[in-house]
Amino acid sequence: MAKKKKGKTKTTLKKKEEFTYRGYTLAKLKKMKLDDLAKLMCARQRRKINRSFRPEEELLLDAMNSDKDSIRTHLRDAIVLPDMVGKKIGIHNGKSFEYVDIKTEMIGHYLGELALTRRKVAHGAAGVGATRSSKYVPLK
């Protein structure tokens, strides 16, 4: 007589949870007024929104509402709002534009946090004549 296995035989798949920002879904965040959205954000972002946006930031928000594929900007201090989710933004890092797909987890962050300005330093080997010991390295 064979023994029966005890326990679960079926594997349960975990559903991917829908993203929420402070308890609100993306659909609810998009419907919110800017003042109500500011109350959910951290102090620095809330202060920036309450003092109203600069003209350059207003132009960026207007460009977000257009049907352009990608938008380029130098505004690294602009806050990621729910209207920007799903857009591709080229953020200037001081030398070139780094294109970033805005995702729901980025809401409330600054654009400058998404495009780094410094790269990892990777030093090569010392060149010929750089040190006394390189005098004895065989040359091709």
- CA 38, chain centre distance (Å): 19
What would the two tokens of residue 126 be?
């010392």
More confident residue, 17 or 125: 17
**Does position 14 have pLDDT exceeding 70, yes or no?**
no
Instruction: Strands of 14-59 (E only): list them.
Output: 20-21, 24-25
pLDDT band, residue 123 (cuts 50/70/90): confident
The model's pLDDT over 19-53, given as tens digits with 9 standing for 90+, comes to 889 999 999 999 999 999 999 999 999 999 999 99
The model's pLDDT over 61-91, given as tens digits with 9 standing for 90+, comes to 999 988 888 899 999 999 999 999 999 999 9
Query: Do the beta carbons of residue 120 and residue 75 sit within 8 Å?
Result: no
pTM for the model stands at: 0.75
More confident residue, 106 or 125: 106
DSSP state of 38: H
Instruction: Strands of the chain (E only): list them.
Output: 20-21, 24-25, 70-73, 88-92, 97-101
- Which domains, ranges and CATH numbers included, belong to the chain? 22-113 (3.30.860.10)
